Amino acid sequence: MAEAKKANWFVRFFGAIARYFRELRSELKKVVWPTPQQVLRNTLIVLACVIVVGVFIWMFDFVAGEGISALITAVKG
């Protein structure tokens, strides 16, 4: 019995690309997209967290800078 002939690389390559996009479309249909209100609420939460962390970093930087300045002043005499 003769072995089935494989398709050339061109056909296999573009067949794989087509399969990828078919599967991608299938998976995207399963996604539960957030409502605009959820997006807004989540965005505001992220912005608030960024601001809070930024303030903590600024405070640490300020205190560390003042501490180092005081240490340098104390060492210089």
17-61 pLDDT, tens digit each = 999 999 999 999 999 999 999 999 999 999 999 999 999 999 999
Domain that holds residue 29: 9-76
Domain count, the chain: 1
Q: Are 42 and 34 spatial neighbours (Cβ–Cβ below 8 Å)? A: yes
Indicate whether this model's pTM tops 0.85: no
Q: Is the pLDDT of residue 2 over 60?
A: no
**What phi and psi values does residue 3 have, to the nearest 5 degrees?**
-80, 140
CA distance 43 to 46: 5
Helix, strand, coil fractions of the chain, as percent rounded to 5? 80, 0, 20
Q: Is residue 4 part of a domain?
A: no
User: Dihedral, CA atoms, 39, 42, 43, 49, nearest 10 degrees?
Assistant: 180
Q: Is residue 35 part of a domain?
A: yes
pLDDT confidence band for 1 (50 / 70 / 90):
low
Q: Is residue 3 part of a domain?
A: no
Q: Is residue 31 part of a domain?
A: yes
Q: Is residue 68 part of a domain?
A: yes
- Evaluate the CA torsion angle 57, 61, 64, 70 in order and state its sign: negative
**For position 13, what pLDDT does the model report?**
87
Q: Is residue 2 part of a domain?
A: no
Q: Is residue 47 part of a domain?
A: yes
